[in-house]
Structures are given as C-alpha cells and as structure tokens.
Amino acid sequence: MKKTLSALAIGATILTPVMAAAADVKVYGRAHVSLDYLDDGQDYNEVGLSSNSSRLGFKAEQKLENGMTVFGQIEQEINFASGSANDDVEFATRDTFVGLKGDFGQARIGRFDSPFKVARGPVNFFGDMVGDVRNVTRVGNLRFDERNANTIEYKSPKFGGGFNVLAALSLHEGNSPDSVSTSSPKTTVIETVNGPVTVVVPGTTTTTNKDNRDDKAYDLALTYKEGKVDFAAAYEHYEEDAGRGERDGFRIAGAYKITPEFNLGGLYQFLQHDNSEANPDAQVFGVAGEYKFAPKTSFRGEVFHRDVDADDANATLLAIGLEHRLDPTVRIYGNIATVLNDENSNLTPWAQGRTNAVGGARGEDSLGLSLGMRYDF
C-alpha cells in the first residue's frame, strides 16, 4: 500500500501540471475514523479503532471543442486506522471511471456505485458509520448495494423539473477458457568442486478450471432531487450465473424537508433470489430523520426492519446520533446503534463501510457505540 501511495503521489506531482494545461484536475479525499465499543451480545465486547470508507482521489474534467465535456475519476480506499490499506486492496478500488456529458445527458464506463446503491441516498443519514442502513439492506447472497466493475451507465438530462433516468449494464470481469494450464520452471543453484552450477528444473503443470460465467447486472433507476424533495426508485437484476446467483431487487426511498431544519425520509426494499429455499425473500422498510437544532449541530435517528420469509430470521436496526460541525469540512459525532435479532439472525449495526467489522452472534442482540471524526478535503 505504501508503494502504491508513493507511486500515486509521484505520478500526481509529475502529471498534474501537464494535465492541468488541458483539464481541470482536483485532488480530493476523506479521512473518517472512529473509536468504537462493539458488543455482539455473546462473547465479543471490545473497544477498537475503525477507518470508515476513507479515501483519496483525483477528478479531471475538460471541455471539448464540440461542446461536450470529458470527465474522469480515480479513487482509492485508505485505512487511516492502521496507516495502510488491506494487503489485498488494489489501486482504484472505489469509484473509478471515464465518461462524456453534454446535451444528451451523461455516459460513463468503469467501476462505480450501481444506480440501485445510489437509490438509498435519501435515507443515508448514517452512511459509513455505526448504524449504516446497509447493515440490514445488504446481507448474504441478497446483496445489491454494490460497486460493480466493468459497468456502462447512461444518465439522462434533467426533465420534468428535477427527474433523471439512469440505466446501467455491468459485465463479468472477463470470460476465460474452461481450463488454464500453467507450468512454472524452478531454478536451483548447486555447489560443485568446480563452482556453482545453475540447474533449471521443469515445474509442475497446474490446471485450473474456470467457468464462463454470465455475470451480468442490469440497473434501471428514476431519481428526483429538487427543493425540499429527494426521491429515488431503482430495480436491479443479476444473471443466473452471477457470483451470488440470480436475484432481483427493488428499492424506493424518499426524503422531504418538512422545515429547513427537519428532514424526514423512508425506504422500502424487496429482494428475491432464484434459490429461495437457501436465500429466502426479504423486505426492508423503515424511516430515518435528521433535525438541526443549532446552526452547526444536528440530531439523527432511524429504525429499519428486515422481514425475511423464513422462521425466526427477522432483524430490526435502531440508531441515534449527534453530530457537530467544527467547519464545513470537519465534523465530529457520536452514535449508538443496535440490531435486535431473531433466533436465526446474526446481524450487527457495524458491518458495512468500516474496517472494524467483526461478525455477530446468532440470536443475540448486538450493540455499537461510536465516537468519530470526518474530514473532507
């Protein structure tokens, strides 16, 4: 990770002046850390640090002679709690894309949040924190809140006073042959009376079977954001041979600013899997709100219930939080959240968007308390 960031910094230093001559380039990021107390209701109850979807990125935009605009973004997740990212994390793991926009709307390709994932925005008051709504909407094989790779997306121009249509197709990372054979020769140095002798030993041939998965996702969404209203509805379908199986999801979410200080929203989601016996249908519904009782201080709360078409597998997420902005770019907050699990559920309020994400205990209620700071630059 250190090598990746060093290369990124050096590359940015060298290339930014060149790119800036042709395009507007912006370096941005987020440092979001928290101190958490997590209790799974059984054996685990510890205090720890977490980095919560912290990131570093570059955005570029350039106006073309034909009136259109080309734009691009490269974004990398960073673990501020440990000083490095997960060893398996590659560069550009977050929203990374290139596209064109103009009077026709906007088209882009790359890896970025699906329209279905974006559609939770109106009720995302606890995003990347203890209490994130994804802890009940994004579970097991019924997952739809994804950042899909190899995606082509179109976004329409605004119409009807604030509506946009989004359509996306996400393709599998690549079709591979049914089997791949590899042979890795080994080099050995043998010491003799006449000096060292290098001997090449034929390696073992390894055959790896790979299937040509039709791992596609189709998205269609309608959004509206204007004045006091924030609304989104989305449908997503994964093909039969997708990594987690064929499945369909529908989501509708909305928020309304009752007063300039009070924003209230709600969400309904229905998820269905082709293998309903192993992955029972589930629906999620609930409300969330935020009230700004001082110019820089707000209170938020939520309750979401996950209703699973199986015996004793339901769960309810409840959370409250207090946030104070030290500056437009810096905020501190405190959250407390719990998931009330039925006998066959083991969800927690801390599993999504955070590095400190220990598992839950089946049939036990889980509790999380978090003190955090977020700096956007």
What pTM was estimated for this model as a whole?
Answer: 0.82
Are 317 and 131 in contact, with CB atoms under 8 Å apart? yes
- Tell me the per-residue pLDDT of 164-199, one tens digit each, with 9 for 90 and over: 999 999 986 654 444 444 444 544 444 444 445 444
**Which pLDDT belongs to residue 284?**
97
Please, which pLDDT band fits residue 214 given cuts at 50, 70 and 90?
A: low
Q: What CATH code is carried by the domain that includes residue 234? A: 2.40.160.10
Q: What percent of the chain has pLDDT over 70?
A: 79
Tell me whether strands 24-39 and 247-257 are parallel, antiparallel or unpaired: unpaired
Of 215 and 307, the structure prediction assigns the larger pLDDT to 307
| 120 domain-assigned | yes
Name the residue with tokens 């990746």: 4
Q: Please state the separation of Cα 215 from the chain's center in Å.
A: 19
Q: Report residue 292 as tokens.
A: 């700004």
| 6 domain-assigned | no
Q: Can you spell out the DSSP letters for 35-53?
A: EEEEE-SSS-EEEEEEE-S
Query: Quick one: average pLDDT of 203-215?
Result: 48
**Which pLDDT belongs to residue 204?**
42
**Which pLDDT belongs to residue 356?**
85
Cα–Cα distance list, 128 to 30, 53, 197, 341, 360 (Å): 12, 6, 58, 21, 18
C-alpha to C-alpha distance for 16 and 224, rounded to whole angstroms: 36
- Tell me the per-residue pLDDT of 4-42, one tens digit each, with 9 for 90 and over: 444 444 444 444 444 444 689 999 999 999 999 999 999
Please, which pLDDT band fits residue 140 given cuts at 50, 70 and 90?
A: confident
Of 245 and 288, the structure prediction assigns the larger pLDDT to 288
| 9 domain-assigned | no
Is pLDDT at 201 greater than 90 in this prediction?
Answer: no
The single-letter DSSP state of residue 355 is S
**Which pLDDT belongs to residue 63?**
95
**Which pLDDT belongs to residue 138?**
92
Are 62 and 24 in contact, with CB atoms under 8 Å apart? yes
Q: Can you spell out the DSSP letters for 130-186?
A: TT-THHHHSBTTB----EEEEEEEEEPPPBTTTEEEEEEEE--S----SEEEEE--E
Please, which pLDDT band fits residue 276 given cuts at 50, 70 and 90?
A: confident
| 360 domain-assigned | yes
Please, which pLDDT band fits residue 93 given cuts at 50, 70 and 90?
A: confident
Q: Number of folded domains in the chain?
A: 1
| 14 domain-assigned | no
In total, the chain counts a number of residues equal to 377
**Which pLDDT belongs to residue 172?**
67
| 277 domain-assigned | yes
Task: Give the residue from 208, 209, 275, 271 showing the smallest Cα distance to 241.
Answer: 275
Where in the sequence is the domain holding 127, given as residue range(s)? 25-173+215-376
Query: Quick one: average pLDDT of 126-130?
Result: 96
Is pLDDT at 209 greater than 50 in this prediction?
Answer: no
Please, which pLDDT band fits residue 83 given cuts at 50, 70 and 90?
A: low
Task: Give the residue from 173, 123, 176 showing the smallest Cα distance to 148.
Answer: 173
- Tell me the per-residue pLDDT of 218-271, one tens digit each, with 9 for 90 and over: 999 999 999 999 999 999 999 866 667 889 999 999 999 999 999 999 999 999
Task: Give the residue from 30, 67, 70 showing the smallest Cα distance to 51.
Answer: 30
3-state secondary structure of 16: helix
C-alpha to C-alpha distance for 117 and 134, rounded to whole angstroms: 10
| Mean pLDDT lowest among 30-34, 152-156, 358-362 | 358-362
| 69 domain-assigned | yes
C-alpha to C-alpha distance for 332 and 181, rounded to whole angstroms: 54
**Which pLDDT belongs to residue 23?**
80
C-alpha to C-alpha distance for 357 and 339, rounded to whole angstroms: 14
**Exposure string over 84-118, b if 16+ CB within 10 A, otherwise e:** ebeeebeebbbbbbebebeeebbebebbbbbbbbb
C-alpha to C-alpha distance for 271 and 279, rounded to whole angstroms: 10
3-state secondary structure of 371: strand
